[in-house]
Amino acid sequence: MRLKDKTAIITGAGSGLGLAIAKRLAQEGAAVVIADINETSISAAVNEIQATGAQAIGYRIDVTKHEDVKRFVDDIAEKTGQIDILVNNAGVTRYRAFDTISDPDWQAVLDLDLKGVFYGAQAVAPHMARRRYGKIVNISSSLGTGTTPDIGKLSAGASAPYASAKAAVIQLTKTLARELGPSGVNVNCVAPGFFLTPLTSTTRSPEEVKEHIALRTRTTVLNRPGKLEELANAVLFLASDESNFITGHTIPVDGGRTDRM
């Protein structure tokens, strides 16, 4: 068990990659906190994890609300006595052609994908620093590292706010690593390629999903989308003591995206 006696908060853990990460960390002995805005998915996730004999609790939280995030984290710290791991995973995208992006679109994506990460890290930092131990893992995206030359109608070309936020998360990771390193806290990041989740499927029509899978299969040297547990394994590594001498870095988990090689 690589995370025995650790407490891990995973934001957006009610579905998709966040749920896969929570399940993987729980398998390795962590007590996981399913932090999500969606009440229904929280209880399903908690039940699923508890059914395996692992420890899980749920907490409804909107990570875009600064004071709420702080209160939530303080509450967890009080209940568990420790916060060892934070995975800043909650995220959203709005596929829009650049000339149709509205202020609310821009704001909604930046608030969740960038500010949510900042709020989470700021809330856990004092608890981690006090114990001189902590692992923060941020979730960026391939779209935060570059654009893609081969774009479908609703593909990377229609993700300006998302790409901007995800690029900023990589830089925020470096800054936080520098500031929190002296307190014993590692801050790293993972940049997923393409994984089939509600984020990538329900935001598109079935035809667009098919088009997108074909596109991402073509532009990945392993010729397939990622499996959720493959992403979760990278997060597990960064959340565990196996990565103690790594901080400020971003690991792409993307099957070898040809537009990144």
Ligand X SMILES: NC(=O)c1ccc[n+]([C@@H]2O[C@H](COP(=O)([O-])OP(=O)(O)OC[C@H]3O[C@@H](n4cnc5c(N)ncnc54)[C@H](O)[C@@H]3O)[C@@H](O)[C@H]2O)c1
**Positions marked catalytic:** 162
Q: In this chain, which of 72, 194, 204, 232 binds ligand X, going by CB under 6 A?
A: 194
Among residues 22, 46, 112, 128, the one that binds ligand X under rule CB under 6 A: 112
Residues near ligand X (CB under 6 A), total: 29
Q: Is 95 in the site for ligand X (CB under 6 A)?
A: no
Which strand (E) or helix (H) includes residue 200?
helix 198-201
Residue of 7, 141, 159, 243 interacting with ligand X (CB under 6 A): 141
For residue 43, the surrounding DSSP H or E stretch is helix 39-50
Interface residues for ligand X in 201-260 (CB under 6 A)?
none
Of 41, 145, 155, 243, which one interacts with ligand X (CB under 6 A)? 41
59 contacts ligand X (rule: CB under 6 A)? no
Other beta carbons within 10 angstroms of residue 201's beta carbon come to 15
Q: Whose Cβ is closer to ligand X: residue 41's or residue 247's?
A: 41
For residue 208, how many other CB atoms are within 10 A of its CB? 16
Among 101, 110, 199, 213, which residue interacts with ligand X (rule: CB under 6 A)? 199
Amino acid making up residue 220: T
Measured from the Cβ of residue 247, the count of other Cβ atoms closer than 10 Å reads 20
Among 79-87, 120-128, 187-195, 205-213, the segment contacting ligand X (CB under 6 A): 187-195
Structure tokens, 97: 């052609």
Phi, psi of 121 (to 5 degrees): -65, -40
Neighbours of 12 (CB within 10 A): 29
Q: How far is the CB of 179 from ligand X (least distance, A)?
A: 22
- Residue 67's H or E segment, with its range, is helix 66-80
**Min dist. Cβ of residue 183 to ligand X (A):** 25
Comparing CA positions, the residue from 238, 247, 251, 133 lying closest to residue 190 is 251
Please tell me whether residue 14 binds ligand X under the rule CB under 6 A.
yes
Residue 200 lies near ligand X (rule: CB under 6 A): yes
Per-residue mark of binding to ligand X, 148-167 (x: CB under 6 A) = --------------------
Tokens for 186, please give them.
């590692």
Of the ranges 6-14, 26-34, 96-104, 172-180, which one interacts with ligand X (CB under 6 A)?
Answer: 6-14
Is residue 146 close enough to count as binding ligand X by CB under 6 A? no
Which residues are CB-neighbours of 225 under 8 A, at least 6 positions away? Answer: 193, 194, 195, 196, 213, 216, 217, 255
Q: How far is the CB of 261 from ligand X (least distance, A)?
A: 17
Which helix (H) or strand (E) segment holds residue 11: the answer is strand 7-11
118 binds ligand X (CB under 6 A): no
Nearest to 178 by CA among 188, 190, 165: 188
| 64 sits near ligand X (criterion: CB under 6 A) | yes
Query: Binding residues for ligand X, per CB under 6 A?
Result: 11-12, 14-18, 36-38, 41, 61-64, 89-92, 112, 139, 141, 192, 194-195, 197-200
